[in-house]
Amino acid sequence: MSQLPILPDTNPVFDSFRISIAKRLSDTLPLTVEQAFAGVDYGKKGEDFTVALPRFRLPGKVAEIAATVIEGFQPDEWIESIVLDRSFLHFRVNTTNMICQVLNQVNALTHLTPSGQPEYGSNDSGKGKRVIIEYSSPNIVKEFHLGHLRSTIIGAFLANLYKACGWEVISMNYLGDWGTQFGMVATGYEKYGSQEEFDQDPIMHLYNVYVKVTKDLETDPKVKVEAARWFKRMEDGDEDVLKKWHGWRETSLEKYQEAYDQLNIKFDVYTGESNVSKESMDKALVQLQDMGLISDRDSAKEVDLNKWNLKAPIVRKTDGTSTYLTRDIGGAIERYERYKFDKMIYVVGAAQDFHLAQFFKIVELMGFPWAKNLLHINYGMVQGMRTRKGTAVFLDRIIKKAGNVMHEQMKKNDEKYAVIQDPQATSLEIGITGIKIQDMAAKRINDYTFNWDRMLSFEGDTGPYLQYAHSRLASIGRKNPQLLPLPPTSQIATHALAQYSNAREIAFLLGTYPDVVNVALKTHEPSGVVTFAFKLAHAISTAWDRVIVKGEEDVEKARAKMYLYECAKEVLAAAMRLLSIRPLERM
C-alpha cells in the first residue's frame, strides 16, 4: 500500500481514508495536508466523506477547483470514486480495503479488557490527567427524585467515557448527609421514629419521619427552632446526636449501594456534605473576609456577587452554622488539596445552575487557579413520575418496578418466555436498560416525561430493542457452531463481503465509533452514543436477511459474514457498556 502522511492524534485505520483524501487535495490544490484534513467531513445520506470546497477560500471558481482534484483521478486502495455535487466533493472509500481494515481493527482490540485495557473506540488523549466526576449525590432522609436518577445515569456514562479516553477517573458520590434537614429528623425521630420500621426500610422510614415533622412545622413554629438547635449540636460535634446520625447514614448508604450495584454503577469515593471539615470552611471564610468579599447581614455573612448578577448568597448563618454553598466551597478546596485534579465535573440538574454559578464564581474570586477547571454538567427535568401528591419516588422502587413491568411485558409472548433462562434477572436487566436509554436518548438539557410503556416497548428506539439486537448477534455463534472458531483474521475472506451494501454500511459505521467517543468527550452528551447504537442496530437488522450466515454454502463466505456480525456485536457491546448498560447474551 502506498505511504500516507502521518498526522497527530488520528486513528490508524479510519483516519487513513481521510488522510488519503487530504493528501489528494493537497497534491492538487495549494493546501497543506493538515489544512485539507480539517476539511474532510463525514458525508450525509450514504456518502462516505464530503469536502465543502468553499471552506478553503481558494482563489478561482469552485467548478475549476473541483476539476483540478477530479482530473486524472485513478481509484486506489483508499478511494473508489469522487463525485462533484454543487460545491461539494463526495469521496467513496475503497470498499474491500475499508471493510477488511475496520473489521480487523475491531477484532484486534476486542477482549483485551478484563483489566480495563483499552478496547475498540477508546483512546489515550487523557493520559496522565485526573478528573473527579461527582454524581448521583442523593440526600439521605429526603426522597431520591428523578433528578438524582439522571445524575446517576449521566454521571456513570461520563465516568466510563473519561476512562475510555485515558483519563484517571475518580467517581465520587457527594451525599446530602448534612444540614438542617438532619436537625428536623433528629427532632422528629423522638416522636415518630421506630427501630422496627427503620430496619425494614431505612430510607423510607427516615423520609417518613422527615415528612411528618415537616408537617408539624406548619402548626408548631417551635419545631424549626428545635431542629436548628439539633443541627447546631451536630455541627458542634455532640456525640450523642452524631451517633444516631451516623447510624442513619451508614444504613441508608448500604441500601443505596445495593441499588447502584443493580444499576451497574460504581463509585470510587463516597463522601458527603458532612465530610467537609469545619477548618477548611472557616479558612475559606477568613480568606473571603480578608479579600473584602464578605458583608454582614443580620449577623449572618454573605458574599456580594451582585456585580455578576448572582445575588448575595449566605455563607454563614446567624447561629454560625454552614450552608450548602459553604460546604461546596470547602469541599472543592479539600478535594483539590487531596487529589490535585486536572478537572472536576459536577453532574447536577439545571435547577441548580444558579447555585453552581455562585459557587464557581466565589472560588474564582478567591483566586484558586483550579477554579477554571470546574465544570457543571447539567440536565433537564423529568416529569410524570409522582402518582399522587406526596408520593415520593425511591431508587430501589424504581428499579423493582422496571423489572416487574418488563417481566409482565415478556410474559405476553409465551413462546419466547419459555426459553428464557432466568426471566426475573433478564427482565430486570432489560428494564434498567429501558430507563437508561430513555434518559440518555436526547440532549441532556431537554426535559422528558417518564413513561414506562414507551421505554419498555420492543418497538422503536428503546432499551429493550437494543438488548434484543445484541442478543440476536450473540445467537449467531450458538446457531452456527460448525463455523467456529473463526480462523486467524488474515485467513478470513473479508473481500467476499464487499458485494453486500449492508455489510459495507455496517463496517463503515463501526469505523466511525472512535469518533463518536471523541465527540461525546467534547460535548458531554450521551445522546450521540445512543444514536450510534441505534444506527448500528438498525443497520444490522436490515442486513439480517440479506447477509445470511445460516445456509450459506460457501464456508469461507459464511465465516466472513459471521466475522462481520461478531465485530458488530463487539462494537455494539462497547457502546452499551459506555452507557453503563450490561449487554445481554440471551433474552
Q: Would you tell me which residues interact with ligand ARG (CB under 6 A)?
A: 134, 137, 139, 174, 176, 328, 346, 348
| For ligand ARG, the closer CB: 39 or 349 | 349
| For ligand ARG, the closer CB: 370 or 544 | 370
| For ligand ARG, the closer CB: 167 or 174 | 174
Backbone angles phi, psi at 134, to 5 degrees: -100, 125
Among residues 44, 45, 111, 145, the one annotated as catalytic is: 145
| For ligand ARG, the closer CB: 134 or 302 | 134
Q: How far is the CB of 371 from ligand ARG (least distance, A)?
A: 14
Residue 246 annotated in active site = no
Q: Assess whether the previous peptide bond of 485 is cis (omega < 30° from 0).
A: yes
Do the beta carbons of residue 403 and residue 430 sit within 8 Å?
no
Cβ atoms within 10 Å, residue 176: 19
Q: How far is the CB of 234 from ligand ARG (least distance, A)?
A: 17
- d(CA 248, CA 139) in angstroms, rounded, equals 12
Of 5, 92, 3, 10, the residue nearest 515 (C-alpha): 10
Q: How far is the CB of 358 from ligand ARG (least distance, A)?
A: 11
Buried b (16+ CB within 10 A) or exposed e, 371-391: beebbbbbbbebeebeeeeee
List the beta bridge partners of residue 82. Answer: 91
Residue 163 annotated in active site = no
Q: How far is the CB of 351 from ligand ARG (least distance, A)?
A: 8
* DSSP letter string, 196-218: HHHHH-HHHHHHHHHHHHHHHHH
- d(CA 378, CA 201) in angstroms, rounded, equals 31
Among residues 44, 111, 129, 142, the one annotated as catalytic is: 142
Q: How far is the CB of 347 from ligand ARG (least distance, A)?
A: 8
Q: How far is the CB of 176 from ligand ARG (least distance, A)?
A: 3
Which parts of 391-462 fold into alpha helices (H)?
395-411, 414-419, 423-440, 452-455
Do the beta carbons of residue 483 and residue 562 sit within 8 Å?
yes
Distances (CA, A) of 380 to 29, 224, 338, 377: 47, 32, 32, 11
Distances (CA, A) of 145 to 148, 266, 396, 440: 5, 19, 12, 17
Q: How far is the CB of 172 from ligand ARG (least distance, A)?
A: 9
| For ligand ARG, the closer CB: 15 or 143 | 143
- Residue 270 host element (H or E): strand 269-272
Place of cell 435547577: 351
- Give me the helix-helix angle, 324-339 and 353-365, nearest 10°: 60
Among residues 23, 148, 205, 317, the one annotated as catalytic is: 148
* DSSP letter string, 310-329: ----EEE-TTS---HHHHHH
Q: How far is the CB of 134 from ligand ARG (least distance, A)?
A: 6
Nearest residue (beta carbon) to ligand ARG:
176
| For ligand ARG, the closer CB: 91 or 394 | 394
Backbone angles phi, psi at 459, to 5 degrees: -100, 145
Residue 538 annotated in active site = no
Q: How far is the CB of 309 from ligand ARG (least distance, A)?
A: 20
Distances (CA, A) of 333 to 201, 223, 248, 371: 35, 34, 27, 10
| For ligand ARG, the closer CB: 225 or 351 | 351
Backbone angles phi, psi at 305, to 5 degrees: -115, 20
List CB contacts of 543: < 8 A, sequence separation 6 or more. Answer: 500, 502, 503, 505, 506
| For ligand ARG, the closer CB: 444 or 504 | 444
| For ligand ARG, the closer CB: 176 or 431 | 176
Active site residues: 142, 145, 148
